[in-house]
Amino acid sequence: MMSKAKQENIGFFKSKLKQLLADKLSANKFVVIHNKEIQGVFDTFESAITDAANRFPADEFVVQEVVDESQNVNYLFVAS
Amino acid sequence: MAHVHHLNLGLQVGKDPSGNPVTAVRQSPLALMRQGFNLSVEVATATAFVQKQPDPVPLKTITLIGHFDTGASQTSIDQKVATHLNLIPTGQATIRTAGGAKGVDTFVIDIAFVNTGLRTIRNLRINSCDLGFNLDRHAQNPNDVTNFGILIGRDIMSLWNVTWHGPTSTVFISD
C-alpha cells in the first residue's frame, strides 16, 4: 500500500509530466520526487533509486520515468 | 557470460506392427506451446534498500517460477508476492490487460536465475499485477509451472540473447 506522502508525490509528477516531457533535460529520464519537489534527474533507474534510498525515508519518495506510457506496447496476462 | 540450454524430451512407449514393445525418446513442440518457457528465479529485496543508510530494509527472498512474457515491456510481479516480501512501492505505472488499462504500483527488486549462471540483476524496476499466484500451492509444489509469481518481461530479455526453437521445445539463453 502506497503511503500518503508517496501518493502526493505521484500526483505532483502527473501534474508536471507534460512539462517534464517537453524538457530535453528530463524527457526519457528518471526523476526522484520527495515532498512534492523534484530532487534529481537521472539517466538510469538504478542510479535514481540508489541516490533516493540514501537521502530519504523509504516510504516518502517516488522514482518515476518521464515517458509517454501510451507509446509503450505493454500487454499483460492477468488473472482477473 | 552464461549459456542456458532448456530442452524438453518426451518418452514414447508403444508397440511395433508385429507387437514388440518399442520405446523412443522424442522432441516435441508441445511443451513450449502449452506451458511457455518458465524458469526458477529468486526474487529479493533490492540492494538499494538493503544497503540503505541509515535504516536499511531487512532482506527477504522467495524462489518461485518466472514465466516468459514477450507481451510485457516490463517485468511484473504478483501483488501477493510483493506483499509477502514487504516490498515498498517506488512509484506508479500503467499496464494494459484484456480488461483495459490501469495504474499499478511499481517496485524495485533483485532477481537471480537459479542454477543457470545468468547474471543477477540488481535494483530492477518492476510493475505489479494479479497473476493468480497462490502461496499455499507454491509451498506444496514450488515447481508447478502453472503457479508462476512473476512475468519475465522484455526489460530482462533485452539483456539476453534468446533463441527459441519451437519444433523441439528448446530455449537457449546467453548473457
Q: Which domain holds residue A15?
A: 4-68
pLDDT at A62 over 90: yes
pLDDT at B158 over 70: yes
- Residues B120-132 have a mean pLDDT of 96
pLDDT at A43 over 80: yes
Q: Do A6 and B89 touch (CB under 8 A)?
A: yes
User: Considering chain B, what percentage of its residues have pLDDT values greater than 90?
Assistant: 73
Q: Which domain holds residue B111?
A: 3-174
pLDDT at A30 over 90: yes
The residues pairing with A54 across neighbouring beta strands, listed in sequence order, are none
CA of B88 vs chain A CAs: smallest distance (Å): 7
Strands (E), A1-80: 30-34, 37-42, 62-65
DSSP 3-state assignment of A73? Answer: coil
- Residues B50-71 have a mean pLDDT of 95
- B50 — pLDDT class (breaks 50, 70, 90): very high
- Residues A29-53 have a mean pLDDT of 97
Q: Which residues contact A3 (CB under 8 A, 6 or more apart)?
A: A59, A60
Q: Is residue A79 part of a domain?
A: no
Q: What is the pLDDT of residue B15?
A: 87
- How many structural domains is chain B composed of? 1
CA of B57 vs chain A CAs: smallest distance (Å): 9
Give the DSSP per-residue string, B103-170. EEEEEEEEEEETTT-PPPEEEEEEEEE-----HHHHHH-TT-TTS--EEE-HHHHTTSEEEEEGGGTE
DSSP 3-state assignment of B34? Answer: helix
- How many structural domains is chain A composed of? 1
Q: Is residue A73 part of a domain?
A: no
pLDDT at B66 over 70: yes
Q: Which residues of A touch B131 (CB under 8 A)?
A: 77-79
Q: pTM (2 decimals)? A: 0.90
Residue A8 has a CB neighbour count (10 Å cut-off) of 15
CATH number, domain at B91? 2.40.70.10
Distance CA B154, CA B158 (A): 6
Q: Is residue A46 part of a domain?
A: yes
- A72 — pLDDT class (breaks 50, 70, 90): confident
- Residues B100-105 have a mean pLDDT of 89
ipTM of the complex: 0.91
Q: Which of B53, B57, B92 sits opposite A54 (nearest CB)?
A: B53
Q: Which residues contact A13 (CB under 8 A, 6 or more apart)?
A: A20, A31, A33, A62, A64, B91
Q: Which residues of B touch A76 (CB under 8 A)?
A: 69, 71-72, 76, 95-97, 127, 129, 151
